[in-house]
Amino acid sequence: MKKRDLRAAFGKPDADFVSCVQYTLRRLREEEERPVKRKLRLSAAIAVAACLIVATAAFAAASHWGLFDFLDQGRDSGTLPEAAEIVATDPPQQGGEGELASFKLREAVYDGEYVYMVVDATPADGLLLLGPGLLPPDAMRDLTKNASDAMTIGEYAGENGLQMAIVGISTAAAAEGVEDAITSFDWRLEADGTLVFMLSGDAPRGAGDAFETTLLCSVTPLVSAAEGEGITMQYFEEDGEEPVSKYIGYDVDEAHIQRSELAFALAAAEPSEARAYDVDAAYPGCGVRVERVTFEPSPMALYYEIRFAITDEAAYAATEDGVQFEFLDASGERLPDGATMSGQTAAQADGSLVQSGSLSAQSDLSQIAALRAFNCWTKERYESHELTLEP
């Protein structure tokens, strides 16, 4: 194991773990806890999200990545065949141009509930684009997702005479403090040097028949720095308990950072009728009670929301906010996650909690037989309750 490769040290986290991390991060933001400072002048939130996505992505290869290439990598995302009919290819858009790189929306889907976007970042000659959170000492395979790439990004750039630059993408709404539609982030470096991104997330409340957004795209060049100056990275030595800081020999070229905007609007696919079911299911093992389950069918996924309330403060506190739910089929097997891969849990104004996520797309609910609670940190399973979902 490489001493600095903290991400690899923990292996591949599953969707439940990622969901718990996302929930914990939201809680920390809501409580305005002060984040740990880093000397790298990049968005810490983007870096955290990028690390999670890098860790969970499967290695794959494609010459021209499309939306379903990203969704299906290493697994069947469970979309219906008609999902291909609602993909917008090269939809109308404005902006995105720049001297260092140009940005373009390649493909997108807005199904009224979730938005999926594939964005190209095409570099100028002589430039190597890096995904958010990546640095020259990182492995080239973290950029290409090709396991055979043994060099570091810095070594590859040096051998090919390329200057490195880090790409960042966020929404204008996020910059204004509004909840960001982007909750999932992935990328691939294609053979021609294009860095293609897959961005997805919940559509903002009230988006209705059209999802309109402006992506804020940045390209931050890296330049050589003197010893002891510039960007530092932190890593743990094997068996070490305290992080070690290391200068990587590069700094941000602030004078030449490119910032551009890419604006577009996506029409919603014809929505399906939501189906809501009142439930009265107690889970004393973790101190909660499920009150309502709602489903939103789509060719992309079967989206769901599970509303539950805390009934035993001590039992719930013992889970460390780790309570999650999973749907089971008639044989007691967990139903697979849908295109969104993982869910999230959000506290409501009335004190209840809502877990949202997706299952593989399906036109009916006949496969759903039960709802079981579990602890996403420890994997402990709690009670299970049968569900009667009338058509």
| Whether residues 198 and 290 fall in one domain | no
How many independent structural domains does the chain possess?
2
Q: Round to whole Å and give the CA distance between 248 and 261.
A: 30
- For residue 173, the Cα-to-chain-centroid distance in whole angstroms is 17
| Whether residues 104 and 196 fall in one domain | yes
Give me the residues paired with residue 220 across strands: 166
Tell which of 237, 267, 297 closes a domain. Answer: 267
pLDDT digits (tens, 9 = 90+) for 350-365: 999 999 999 999 978 9
Q: In this structure, what DSSP letter does residue 91 have?
A: -
CATH number at residue 304: 2.60.40
User: Does a structural domain hold residue 11?
Assistant: no
**Residues of the chain whose pLDDT is less than 50?**
1-12, 25, 28-62
Contact of 155 with 149, CB cutoff 8 Å: no
Tell which of 214, 245, 267 closes a domain. Answer: 267
Domain extent, residue 107, equals 60-223+253-267
Contact of 111 with 84, CB cutoff 8 Å: no
| Whether residues 259 and 305 fall in one domain | no
Q: What is the pTM of this model?
A: 0.81
| Whether residues 189 and 214 fall in one domain | yes
User: Does a structural domain hold residue 26?
Assistant: no
pLDDT of residue 50: 43
| Whether residues 86 and 189 fall in one domain | yes
**Residue 102 in tokens:** 């140009």
| Whether residues 117 and 259 fall in one domain | yes
Least Cα distance to 113 among 283, 272, 350 occurs for: 272
Beta strands per DSSP E along 68-209: 88-89, 93-95, 101-110, 114-123, 127-130, 163-171, 184-189, 195-202
User: Does a structural domain hold residue 2?
Assistant: no
256 three-class SS: helix
Least Cα distance to 104 among 213, 23, 217 occurs for: 217
CATH number at residue 159: 2.60.40.1630
Q: Round to whole Å and give the CA distance between 165 and 218.
A: 10
Q: Round to whole Å and give the CA distance between 165 and 386.
A: 53
CA distances from 373 to 22, 45, 277, 333, 334 (A): 18, 29, 18, 13, 11
pLDDT of residue 16: 55
157 three-class SS: helix
User: Does a structural domain hold residue 308?
Assistant: yes
What strands, in cross-sheet order, belong to the sheet with 381-386? 323-328, 370-375, 381-386
Tell which of 200, 234, 267 closes a domain. Answer: 267
